[in-house]
Amino acid sequence: MEDIKITQKDIQRLHVLKMVLECKMTLVEAARTLQVSYRHAKRLKKAAVEGIKGLVHGNQGRPPANKLDEALRARVVALSEGKYSSLNDTHFTEMLAEREGITISRETVRRIRRAQKHRPKRKRRVRQHHKRRPRKPAEGMMMLWDGSPHRWFGHEYGPCCLMAAIDDATGKALALRLVPQESSHGYLDLLERVTSRYGIPASVYQDRHSTLKRNDGFWSISEELAGRQDPTQVGAALEGLGIQAIYALTPQAKGRVERLFGTLQDRLVAMLELEGITEIEPANEYIESHFLDYFNNRFAVPAEEAMSAWRKVGKALDVQRILSLRYDGTVAGDNAIRLSGMVIDVPPGPGGRSYAGIRAEVRQMLDGSWRVYYQDKLIATAPATEVAEPIRTRNRRKGARAAHDAQWVYMASATGPDGQPAHLHTLEADAIGNTPTSRAAGTARRARPGRAIGATRIA
């Protein structure tokens, strides 16, 4: 005998319709009781002659017409437990359609995976209430950027940092770059890629990381007179390009870039594992050639207004100079600038003039090369060296009780002629360039009695 599944609703219908068949209730009253139309009540009365079997749906017990084939289900399970095991449900559904030619819904994938005890990648937790900030109406009006330290190549590899910039109006990822750690060079490189590809944004929404905002309480005499602290290296670049810097007080305030990292820690990690990429440089090449376009096609949304707020880079604007690390140095009597273990020779100027004694602007470009400027004119260049995070130090003079000024210090590992790292020391402001020397590269000289400073001539 065939088993029939019935509900309390079916039992109630049969009871009311039996009363109609026994002439204890009119069909109009039955339709009102069952909350159906009179026409449907007539159909139910005819079916009730067969008993409860006539009231249940005829498809009960039959397999659905759109039921997934068992062989196809087994293949999906094998792929889910195999090379796509690190993908979330939505990402796995997309990869099935894109790479395996299997088109099924995300809900079907979810049910199959949960039946196989495949747990979701991220736990859903109750979110705290935060007021939503509307998107900017036009692309280029606001850019959000940040760095995210994470094990981007999987748990068996060490962590590195993904630098990311996203447009507020569209959610488009403007630039993605993997670097060893969050640094001034990483932000400047990111900004250079954005300006060369899209233009200059009107504003930047960012956190209070020390590379973006001065968090120290030290004010030099010049800063006290000016009424403001000197910006960081990145802050100076933003001012040079006329970009307004807006600082977030909480991670939730810049939630769009935080959610971007949540998505990337899911999808990018899975895609790098799928492609077998475990190093930074190949990963950056993959991001530029494939992943960036894939991500924007999947997640970017149209801006409210069709107009673009990106500002074109003017021909007269020296973007390379602005997007570089700045140091200050004094040209010594031998026409050389010394920066913490390096010596940069300054060639003679027009008419064979000497630059000895001048205060010059020393710039390390994004590729590591060096340029020296005086009165906005390029007076010297030098080959590339290691790029390091500039350190802001207070300068102390002998016998002074407190610091009077501060400077940016280059602290990379300079090398001598034998290839070994030279000893690096921070030169005091009143000692830079005051001691003429013509010693060979890598030899030590004395800045004061009892203190030797390693010097490596790079140009």
Does residue 285 share a domain with residue 151?
yes
Q: DSSP class of residue 50?
A: G
Band of pLDDT at residue 122, cut at 50, 70 and 90: confident
Band of pLDDT at residue 175, cut at 50, 70 and 90: very high
Q: What confidence tens digit (pLDDT) does each residue in 67-115 have?
A: 788 888 899 999 998 888 888 888 999 999 989 889 999 899 998 998 8
The pLDDT score that the predictor gives to residue 188 is 96
Residue 392, domain member (yes or no): yes
Residue 135, domain member (yes or no): no
Residue 200, domain member (yes or no): yes
Domain with residue 288: its CATH number is: 3.30.420.10
Quote the CA–CA distance of 204 and 1 in Å, as a whole number: 73
Does residue 264 share a domain with residue 151?
yes
Structure tokens given for 433: 């360039």
Extended beta strands in 340-402, E state: 342-345, 359-364, 370-374, 377-382, 391-395
Does residue 228 share a domain with residue 158?
yes
Alpha carbon 178 to its chain's center? 9
* Residue 156 contacts residue 265 (beta carbons within 8 Å): no
Q: What confidence tens digit (pLDDT) does each residue in 128-147 have?
A: 665 678 899 999 999 999 99
18 C-beta neighbours (distance < 10 Å), count: 14
Quote the CA–CA distance of 304 and 169 in Å, as a whole number: 7
Mean pLDDT of 262-289: 94
334 has a pLDDT exceeding 60: yes
Quote the CA–CA distance of 350 and 354 in Å, as a whole number: 9
The percent of residues in the chain predicted with pLDDT above 90, rounded, is: 47
Does residue 401 share a domain with residue 329?
yes
Does residue 293 share a domain with residue 151?
yes
Distances (CA, A) of 46 to 27, 39, 49: 12, 11, 6
Does residue 149 share a domain with residue 293?
yes
Q: What confidence tens digit (pLDDT) does each residue in 410-444 have?
A: 765 434 444 443 333 332 333 333 333 333 333 33
User: Which residues, at least 6 apart from 367, have a Cβ–Cβ distance to it below 8 Å?
Assistant: 384
Does residue 280 share a domain with residue 166?
yes
The pLDDT score that the predictor gives to residue 7 is 78
277 has a pLDDT exceeding 80: yes
SS3 368: coil
Q: Half-sphere exposure of 20 toward its Cβ, with a 13 Å CA cutoff?
A: 25
Residue 424, domain member (yes or no): yes
354 has a pLDDT exceeding 70: yes
Band of pLDDT at residue 149, cut at 50, 70 and 90: very high
Does residue 103 share a domain with residue 19?
no
Domain that holds residue 42: 8-55
The pLDDT score that the predictor gives to residue 69 is 83
pTM: 0.67
Residue 366, domain member (yes or no): yes
Residue 395, domain member (yes or no): yes
437-440 contacts: CB < 8 A, separation 24 or more?
437/332, 437/334, 437/336, 438/334
Does residue 371 share a domain with residue 295?
no
The pLDDT score that the predictor gives to residue 225 is 86
Quote the CA–CA distance of 349 and 118 in Å, as a whole number: 71
Quote the CA–CA distance of 164 and 457 in Å, as a whole number: 36
